[in-house]
Structure 1
Amino acid sequence: MSETTHDGGVAVSPRPSPDEGLMAPQLAAKYGLTVSGARPGLVDYVRQLWGRRHFILAFSQAKLTAQYSQAKLGQLWQVATPLLNAAVYFFIFGVILKASRGMSRDVYIPFLVTGVFVFTFTQSSIMAGVRAISGNLGLVRALHFPRASLPISFALQQLQQLLFSMTVLFLIVIGFGSYPSLSWLLILPVLLLQFLFNTGLALIVARMGAKTPDLAQLMPFILRTWMYTSGVMFSISKMMEGRSEVFVRLLQVNPAAIYMDLMRFALIDGYGSSNLPPHVWAIATFWAVVLFAGGFVYFWQAEERYGRG
């Protein structure tokens, strides 16, 4: 198009833009633009996490190494801490309160130490998870990566710590007369199921802690209450004799109690199947799958909000 100017010249009018009249979302769709930091689809998110698997492993190992780097005994505290806790619980519950009801000392001491080690695995995973985002905001804001990498790596760190300290647990169990047998092979599926359960919980509290950092201060009280109702220091079936069977079963299907009792059943000769609730493996698998899948989706739904505000 052209038109005559006031001095007799000819001016050429610009052609209308092909994008004229398009709204911002339409323009973005036309040119393949996406929102910076937008949440990817669930399948793409899983694919991105798999691509960061080496980072997740390296990050967990670095955190494990640095955890006790300032202490003179270094990583020996990974073993010393749960052992000292077990010694305190044995004195209070085993000697003073006689919580070893129905068990000989050769069974009760491995029973107690196993419970402390296994519950500490879950407890530490949750405490690390609740600070996974809020305690690493610099990393979250500086780099682009799937944020689930952080709580997963912290749960993996706690698994590595448990595997390191289980050498001492094996020595204690053997020292009290429970020698390696085929039942010890059950340790592997128990640890796998508990790791999935712990990771799911770490993902849940990581999202909650990212929004409410004060949750980290409240969590020790919640975990302590959970520990006292999970049979760490006493056998639920023996301590609750005479109580309502429904009440006893509810305590026994508590996931913390499930994984402790399965580990005790695998390791301790005097801890038989009569101490386990019916369908124990199905219940353990249910807790692991539901918490891991639910926790993963729950965390992913807030992916684009981590590190903002």
Structure 2
Amino acid sequence: MSQVLHTPPAPAPAEADLSALAARHGLSVSGARPSLPQYVRQLWARRHFITAFATAKLTAQYSQAKLGQVWQIATPLLNAAVYYFIFGVLLGTSRGVSDYIPFLVTGVFIWTFTQNSIMAGTRAISGNLGLVRALHFPRAALPISFALQQLQQLLFSMAALVVILLCFGIPVSVSWLLIVPVLFLQFVFNSGVSMIMARMGAKTPDIAQLMPFILRTWMYVSGVMFSIDNTLKRSGMPHTAKVLLESNPAAVYIDLMRFALIDSFHAHQLPHHVWAYATGWALLAGVGGFIYFWKAEETYGRG
């Protein structure tokens, strides 16, 4: 009798075989992270959503303003005008720089592409929790779509940049074809950094308040308003500082775009191995950022 009383009950067959039963019928945990190849396939399947979402965001960005989409071009031009007055006129950074206004406007436009992509990416998850919680889709679609939105805005701005270049006597040349690979590499880089910041911003939303200060500091060392090549020639910086300035990814993409567009910006003003830098940064940020974001896929929108 005592043996009957003290014998522990056998586990219920339904509980013991629950995981096996689920596996047999192809069931999985809701919201579980897919494998990396499967995640890439899911993302590719939603490419039309990514494009449509980016276009809709771009269209709605200035929908409440009376000038509407004119601000897509006016905003970076006004920024360039302010930087020209402060840095080109008051601080004299235009000395020794040929075609300074095209030089400056190109730097502002290309930097704005990176800056806005990263800022939008930081809020990609935390600012769209309703969408994340309501629909099932690969969350990487959000930071990528925001980077695509900024690329679309840059292409609008490039129309104004072309007019400025022609007004200052810079002819159309074959080197303008380099715009395509430069923008592609910069877009991959921006998307990767946006995904890194999206994951960090999803966990700690306060990062979005810190990013403007970080980005402003980054801008000041990226040669947006001055020539890094001229500065390095005149300064007695240690070799390590020179390498850091020349390999700065923002500066690399800005200088490559200047080389493509401005005929007075020559190859000797570019850092050595500049295309290797541009490709390496794109691969490092793009692939690394994508994997880093994917690893936390099941956590987005929870809590």
Please tell me the TM-score bracket, short chain as reference: over 0.9
Q: Which of 33, 38, 41 does residue 32 from structure 2 map onto?
A: 38
Q: Distance in 2 between matches of 1:183 and 1:194?
A: 17
Q: Which of 172, 189, 196 does residue 164 from structure 2 map onto?
A: 172
What does 1:207-286 align with in structure 2 at a 5 Å threshold? 207-240=199-232, 241-243=234-236, 244-286=238-280
Q: Distance in 2 between matches of 1:21 and 1:134?
A: 37
TM-score (norm 1): 0.91
Q: Does 1:198 align with 2:184?
A: no
Q: Does 1:68 align with 2:62?
A: yes
Q: Is the 8 A contact 1:173 1:179 kept in 2?
A: yes
What does 1:1-309 align with in structure 2 at a 5 Å threshold? 19=13, 22=16, 24-104=18-98, 107-240=99-232, 241-243=234-236, 244-309=238-303
Q: Is the 8 A contact 1:140 1:147 kept in 2?
A: yes
How far apart are 1:274 and its partner, in Å? 1.4
Q: Distance in 1 between matches of 2:241 and 2:41?
A: 43
- Give the SS at the match of 2:16: coil
> How has the CA–CA distance of structure 1 residues 20 and 92 changed in structure 2, closer, same or farther, with 3 Å as cutoff?
closer
Name the aligned partner's letter for residue 20 of structure 2: Q
* Residue deviations 1:231-264 (CA, integer Å, cap 9, x gap): 1000011123232344223201100000000000
> How has the CA–CA distance of structure 1 residues 219 and 182 changed in structure 2, closer, same or farther, with 3 Å as cutoff?
same
Q: Distance in 1 between matches of 2:228 and 2:269?
A: 8
> How has the CA–CA distance of structure 1 residues 295 and 21 changed in structure 2, closer, same or farther, with 3 Å as cutoff?
closer
How far apart are 1:23 and its partner, in Å? 5.0
Calculate percent identity across the aligned residue pairs: 70
> How has the CA–CA distance of structure 1 residues 17 and 207 changed in structure 2, closer, same or farther, with 3 Å as cutoff?
closer
Q: Is the 8 A contact 1:265 1:271 kept in 2?
A: yes
More deviation, 95-104/72-81: 95-104
Q: Is the 8 A contact 1:101 1:239 kept in 2?
A: no
Q: Distance in 1 between matches of 2:36 and 2:153?
A: 30
Name the aligned partner's letter for residue 200 of structure 1: G
Q: Distance in 2 between matches of 1:18 and 1:236?
A: 72
Name the aligned partner's letter for residue 188 of structure 2: L
How far apart are 1:103 and its partner, in Å? 1.7
Q: CA RMSD in A?
A: 1.6
Q: Distance in 2 between matches of 1:181 and 1:256?
A: 24
Name the aligned partner's letter for residue 198 of structure 2: A
Q: Distance in 2 between matches of 1:65 and 1:163?
A: 14
Long gaps (5+) in structure 2: 1-9
- Residue 11 of structure 1 corresponds to none
Q: Distance in 2 between matches of 1:223 and 1:248?
A: 20
Name the aligned partner's letter for residue 287 of structure 1: W
Q: How many residues align?
A: 292
How far apart are 1:25 and its partner, in Å? 3.1
Q: Which structure carries more helix by proportion?
A: 2
Long gaps (5+) in structure 1: 1-15
- Give the SS at the match of 2:271: coil
Q: Distance in 2 between matches of 1:32 and 1:183?
A: 54
How far apart are 1:20 and its partner, in Å? 5.2
How far apart are 1:199 and its partner, in Å? 0.3
